[in-house]
Amino acid sequence: MPATPRSPKSIAARKVHVTPLQNRPKGAVRAKSGCYTCRIRRKKCDERRIGDESGPCETCIRLKLECLGFGAKRPDWLRESHKVAQIRDRIKAHLAAQGMIKGHAGSGARIPLQDEILRLSDPSLDHEIPRGGGYQSGTSSSAGSPAREDSVESDRHYQHHQHRIAPYHQHRPSYSFHHHHYGGDYNQDVMSSRCDSPSDMNHPYEFPDANADMPNYSLQTIYQNPAKKSIFGPHYHTLWTIEQEPDPDIGPEDPSPTVIRPSQYLPFECVNQSMKDYVDNVVKIQYLLGDNLTLPEMIWQAVNTHQASQEAVRLLSSTYYSRNHDPNQRVVDGQTVAIRIDHLRSTLYATPIFTSDDAMAALHVVSVYLFDGGKGPWLDFLTLACTYAARVLDHPRYFRVYSNALESASPKDAFVIKTAIWFDVIASITTQQAPILIQYIRELFKPNQSFVGSPPTYTMMSPMGCENVVVWALAEASELSCWKSRHERMGDLSIRELVRRASEIEPYLQAGPQPIKPCDSPESWARYFASEIFRTSTKLFLKSVEAGDFPNVSEIKYCVQDVVNCLQETFSRIHLINSQVELVSAVIRSTVFGIYLCASLAEEPVMHGLEVMLQQHSGNEGVGNCLSVSQLLQDLQWHRANSSPSNPVPWRRLLAQQKMLLV
């Protein structure tokens, strides 16, 4: 039977009991639009979303609340008043602790967790809010009630997981790339790698705020089928180019939210679980001549305790796997990765107290550009690392005695300082500006200095494979090049002064006595050969500053032949010590600066041979700048073939135009 229509009297009676608007508490207006979080709070939502149409609203970002998404139809779980009241109480407590409710400023100092985004879909609420993935709450109203993923799946814009990092060889949880559009501070929802395996409960590497009381889900329950569990399942055929055949478990496509097509070939969920794999393996490619015993552990500790380092490692790992799949794919040019890098840049620049982990994260992003060919705005992140290195060296405790500061630095600070110095020196050749840390380099590495007590023991041989005096000479030659260009523009260049300053550097670049065996390990041999290539190529660079970039100058020819002889000796002697073939590639890939400079000023046959050598030793991973430098040499060869021999070789101009870092 049709429902009996209500009488006008009953309607009028209902109106009588409505609380007048002026008598309601302030801010108690029921919100009928906006995101579900603001509806629960009964506050107005600004409905301005971050990133795209599936992003969170700015109101939730400002209040550090999880945005539960938008939708016209109210989901079933939101209709149960007692559950909504529980969530509302948690929101009020969170806002009161943040001092965002008038008259409730909170007591005591804020703990770190208070600065994180309140996760309304926290696993601890599983007894309150039904969740998908096969898990049924013990307090659910009925066994057949729809799970939350089913009721608001069309509105959910990012996926939440647990607070644990699982070993990389285990399962891979679902991971949404959309939450990287999130604004505001880094938080565990954005930054942490999460898994739901019971084996993770005893994993030695934990985040500081990991919840030990989280439900003990089974792997089968949580990871039945990521295509079915994720709201992006219908897009699995079109989203990733590595999918060749349709998956029979994925149903027909149905209407779903608009998503941004990611720029990388592998999803970030794979990268999440590969962080330990990166630390154990990929770091050896990032620092080819570094200490493979201490570096992985140092980076792994930062990943587990520092959110920016964790995100930087994710970026680096995703770049590695994407380039491994397609070496010609430019990862950092994609929209998704670019947004994440911009977000990380903003976060690091907004950090009030810069730490060694922040500097390490900045160096990781520089390595992201190096893995992706060496081109891009890496200077922003390198400047951050250099600023931190200068602050450590300038510590008042050491009275500006930089050698004492570096000797007393922690292993992590020492690594950051040495890496920042080396990147800074090589980058100055690309930017054609004096090194940022030139004054510190002079005090640390200038030869024939007197010391009170024992001389310092720090060395640039690890992780850079370059002697201290060569680092100093290369920095001075780069600064001299900038000095020459500046006075050429002003029209007052003194050739006598130029020759005098160059003659003060050149004696320290002469070949010294060659030991029979510099050390007893193949890695030490690799550092020794790399240092010889850097020594001869630095001498070539100094002569190009003094005489100009003219290949027919006799001094230039002599220095080019020195570099070529050094490369030939590297090939012959490494095989004599029964070393691995990978060691040759490590030396070549670590000395691309010297190879590029030598090929630029060499005759055509030598230039072509060095170009082929770079291609052959670029590695099977598809990462690094060897192929990019090879392409740059091809462009330079075309310029030389179509210009007069009286013109200087424009190797500096091409390098600056490409913004390529030759590390």
Please write the tens of the pLDDT for every residue from 105-164. 544 444 444 446 787 764 444 433 333 333 333 333 333 333 333 333 333 333 333 333
Give yes or no for a contact between 653 and 627, defined as CB atoms under 8 angstroms apart: no
Alpha helices in 491-603 (DSSP H): 495-505, 522-547, 554-576, 581-590, 592-600
| 463: preceding bond cis by omega (within 30 degrees) | yes
- Say which range, 208-217, 288-297, 470-479, has the weakest mean pLDDT: 208-217
- Dihedral of alpha carbons 573, 579, 585, 591, sign: negative
Amino acid 299: pLDDT: 85
Burial group, residue 310, by CB count within 10 angstroms (0-12, 13-18, 19+): buried
Q: Inter-axis angle of helices 581-590 and 522-547, to 10 degrees? A: 30
Confidence of residue 359 (pLDDT cuts 50, 70, 90): very high
Residue that has been written with the tokens 């579900």 in this structure: 36
CA dist., res. 436 & res. 424, Å (int): 7
The Cα–Cα gap between 257 and 305 comes to 34
The DSSP code for 508 is G
Would you state the structure tokens that stand for residue 538, as one six-digit string? 């630095």
What six digits make up the tokens of 653?
């101009």
Task: List the one residue out of 482, 499, 379, 498 whose CA is nearest residue 429.
Answer: 482
Q: For residue 206, what are the β-bridge partners?
A: 164
Q: What residue type is 90 in one-letter code? A: R
What is the Cα–Cα distance from 156 to 77, expressed in whole angstroms? Answer: 14
Stronger pLDDT, 221 or 17, i.e. the higher one: 17
* Confidence tier at 208 by pLDDT (50, 70, 90): very low
First to last CA, the chain: 81
Nearest residue to 394 via CA among 440, 350, 363, 361? 440
| 373: amino acid identity, one letter | G
Report pLDDT for 180: 37
302: Cα separation from own chain's centroid: 13
Half-sphere exposure of 48 (CA within 13 A, CB side): 6
Cis check: omega of the bond before 262, within 30 degrees of 0: no
Q: Which tens digits make up the pLDDT trace of 176-188?
A: 333 333 333 433 3
SS3 332: coil
List the beta bridge partners of residue 65.
118
293 versus 532: the higher-pLDDT residue is: 532
pLDDT in tens, 269-279: 454 555 676 67
d(CA 313, CA 191): 10
* The dihedral sign for the CA sequence 64, 68, 71, 76: negative
What pTM was computed for the model? 0.61
The torsion angles phi and psi of 260, rounded to 5 degrees, stand at -90, 130
pLDDT tens profile 63-86: 888 888 887 777 776 777 778 888
Confidence of residue 516 (pLDDT cuts 50, 70, 90): low
Q: 298: number of CA atoms within 13 Å, CB side?
A: 21
Q: pLDDT tier at 256 (50, 70, 90 boundaries)?
A: very low
Q: Could you tell me which residues come within 8 angstroms of residue 25 by beta carbon, excluding any fewer than 6 positions away?
A: none
Predicted confidence at residue 170, as pLDDT, reads 37
Alpha carbon 346 to its chain centroid, in Å, reads: 13
Q: Give the integer Cα–Cα distance in Å for 256 and 226.
A: 16
Is the model's pLDDT at 226 over the cut of 80?
no
- The answer to which of 288-302, 371-385, 430-444, 470-484 has the lowest mean pLDDT is 288-302
Round to whole Å and give the CA distance between 392 and 418.
Answer: 12
Contact 556, 540 (CB under 8 A): yes
Q: What's the CA gap between 18 and 312, in Å, rounded? A: 55
Instruction: Report the chain's C-alpha Rg in angstroms.
Output: 30
Long-range (24+ apart) CB contacts under 8 A made by 26-33 are: none
In which region does residue 659 sit, left (phi positive, over 0), alpha (psi from -120 to 50) or beta (all else)? left
| Residues of the chain above pLDDT 70, percent | 66
pLDDT band at 517 (very low <50, low <70, confident <90, very high): low
How much is the pLDDT for 572?
82
- Report how far apart, in Å, the C-alpha atoms of 116 and of each of 62, 119, 163, 193 are: 11, 9, 13, 16
- Residue 506: strand, helix, or coil: helix
What is the C-alpha to C-alpha distance for residues 610 and 626, in angstroms, rounded to an integer?
A: 11
Give pLDDT, residue 278.
Answer: 67
